[in-house]
Each structure stands twice: as structure tokens, then as C-alpha cells.
Amino acid sequence: MKVLGIESSCDETGVAIYDTEKGLLADQLYSQIALHAEYGGVVPELASRDHIRKTTPLIKEALAEAELSLSELDGIAYTRGPGLIGALMVGASIGRSLAWGLGIPAVGVHHMEGHLLAPMLEDVANGKEQSIAFPFVALLVSGGHTMLVHVKAIGDYTIMGESLDDAVGEAFDKTAKMLGLAYPGGPILAALAKQGKAGVYEFPRPMIRQGGLDFSFSGLKTHSLTTWQKSDQTEQDKANIAYAFQEAVVDTLFIKCKRALQSVEAERLIIAGGVGANIRLREKLNELKAEVFFPPMKYCTDNGAMIAYAGALRLQAGQTEEPVILPKPRWSLEELSAI
């Protein structure tokens, strides 16, 4: 089964083709980072308009890359939510209409399920069997979400803990912005942290003492700002703050992952979402007494491949939907059905 996947929930237009027999046949990505950079964050209306410009050309590129014609597709998957409503509307309209015109099934994919299954893409992209056995705990860390999820099967998700305020990626981006770093701040702050000295600042590890698996990162952002304001504001101070911030975030995630694994006696942890690209986080989580899986770097941040893959699994299991265009900007993982 050859499935075209379309991702358009935020600021990347991703289009990929996944074949359930041969693996990934095409993977096209257009990032809007340059478009939003001068505003220091994603401007929703600009994002929607750019998705309109880019989605159809990328579909053509993906078909050319896979050496397929439209009539050879067996199904279409698009990101139904969560995300920016205008941006989601573009992928949903194009994906749903194309499926209708071609007379093939379509399925709206949950963006976070796409991220969650991305660590399996390494194997399946090369046409191998997926190697991560259920059940496992997933740490989803992106610009919009921070969650620990108990994954018993595909679609059978229990949220064990989540952020009560800023998502981890958001905290990275906002802290970077306060320190005057360029957009998007997460990877830039992480790069700067490498120049930082250990032991200069020690930042708190939020919500550790009270037990439980929820997170709160907005205090760390404020702590970074006041530390910066009180410092001499040299480049070294900036790097030291970046270092202390990153250590506090990574350590907090480490402690909560350990706790989550213990609470359900799981032996496997998978990391997904944009912040999963963070090298320090990868190093630290590898210290856990568990099997730890990360997606390949290019599948950490938003992409079409994870949507094509998640959609293909659902279409293959016979799940389809009514021919209506109905994006879901707010959508909990727990509402999904198991396959």
C-alpha cells in the first residue's frame, strides 16, 4: 500500500510517500523558518499562506522522487491536529480533496502520534520490520507538547504526565529569545551551552520533590532572565546561563523518565519530538537502566514521513473516515482508537 503523507500543522510543509512493503519512497520538506525569523516566532496567517504555496509543488516533487504517478497511490494521510487551525486546514483540504478525486481512502493523523512512531522510521524506512516492542514509555518533547505517555499498542495511549505551562521546546525558544539569540532558539541555545562552564550557576529542577509526572518549565525561563539581568551580561555569562538552563531541563526530564519507567515497570523508553534532537538530552537519557530509542535526527522535528507512516498503519488496519474536511486543532492522544 502506497500512502502519501502531508504535514502542515505548524511551520514546516512535509510531504512523503510510504510503501507498506518497501518502506519510505520519498521525503520532501520545506521549512518556513526564514519566513518567521524576523518576527521571532511563527505567525499563523503567514504559515497558512505559505503551506498553500508549497504543498502542491511538494506533492509533485515527492511523486517524482518515488517515480510514481498520482493514480498509483492507495491512500492519503494528512495531519488532522493538534496545531494551528489555518495551517491544518491547508493539509486537510488538499489531502482530503485529492483522495476524493482519486477515489482512494484518506485518514487524518494525530501529529503527536506521528512523532511517537517516528523512532520506528529508521527500520521501516529501509523496508525492515519495526524493532521496538510494546509496551513502552514515550517522552514527547516538542515546541507545543511535553508529555510522558504509556504506550501499550499503537493507538492505546495513557498520558502519565504533561506540562502544566510551557512545553520544553517553548521554554528553550523563549529563554533563547530573552538572551537575544536568533530564532528558532532551541538548537541555538543548545549550541551556545557547549561554551558554558559547569558550576557557575545551579538552576532549580522544577516539580521534582512533590512526586508525580507533571512538568512546569515557565519558572526556569524567568529564572534565566533574572540571572541574566543580575550578571555582567558578557558572552560568557550568556553561555553559562544557557548551560545551566539546559542542564536543569535535561536533569528534570531524566528524573521524570526514570520515575515513569519505574511506575509501570517498563523496560523501554522512546523519545520523540523536536527537542529529541538535543544532544545533551540524548547523552543523559542513555544513562537510564532501560533500552532507549531516539528517532533519526531528521525525523525528530516535523516531517511528512512520520505522518505517511502513522497514516499507513491506520489505513492498512482498515481505518478511514467520512469525506469531510474537519481539522482538530485541539485533540488529546487518549481520544485515539487502538489498531
Task: Give the residues lining the site for Zn ion (CB under 5 A).
Answer: 142, 302
Closest distance of CB 260 from Zn ion, Å: 21
Tell which residue, 116, 119, 149, has the closest CA to residue 298. 119
Burial (CB < 10 A; 0-12, 13-18, 19+), residue 232, is exposed
Which of the listed partners (Zn ion, ligand KG4, none) does 173 bind, with a CB threshold of 5 to 8 Å by partner kind?
A: ligand KG4
- CA-CA distance, 122 to 296, in Å (whole number)? 7
C-alpha cell at 55: 504543498
Closest distance of CB 147 from Zn ion, Å: 12
Binding site for ligand KG4 (CB under 6 A): 10, 142-144, 169-170, 172-173, 184-187, 190, 273-275, 277-278, 301-302
Which of the listed partners (ligand KG4, Zn ion, none) does 275 bind, with a CB threshold of 5 to 8 Å by partner kind?
A: ligand KG4
C-alpha cell at 242: 544557557
Closest distance of CB 274 from Zn ion, Å: 6
Which of the listed partners (ligand KG4, Zn ion, none) does 278 bind, with a CB threshold of 5 to 8 Å by partner kind?
A: ligand KG4
Which of the listed partners (ligand KG4, Zn ion, none) does 311 bind, with a CB threshold of 5 to 8 Å by partner kind?
A: none
Which residues does 329 contact at the CB level (< 8 Å), separation at least 6? Answer: 81, 82, 83, 84, 85, 88
CB-wise, 66 or 275, nearer to ligand KG4? 275
CB-wise, 116 or 266, nearer to Zn ion? 116
- CA-CA distance, 320 to 109, in Å (whole number)? 11
- CA-CA distance, 258 to 261, in Å (whole number)? 5
CB-wise, 66 or 250, nearer to ligand KG4? 250
Closest distance of CB 145 from ligand KG4, Å: 7
Closest distance of CB 272 from ligand KG4, Å: 8
Which of the listed partners (ligand KG4, Zn ion, none) does 113 bind, with a CB threshold of 5 to 8 Å by partner kind?
A: none
CB-wise, 19 or 170, nearer to ligand KG4? 170
CB 146 within 8 A of CB 164: no
CB-wise, 145 or 223, nearer to ligand KG4? 145
- The three-state secondary structure class of 79 is strand
CB-wise, 240 or 301, nearer to ligand KG4? 301
Tell which residue, 78, 111, 113, 112, has the closest CA to residue 93. 78
Closest distance of CB 111 from Zn ion, Å: 6
Tell which residue, 156, 158, 154, 143, has the closest CA to residue 310. 154
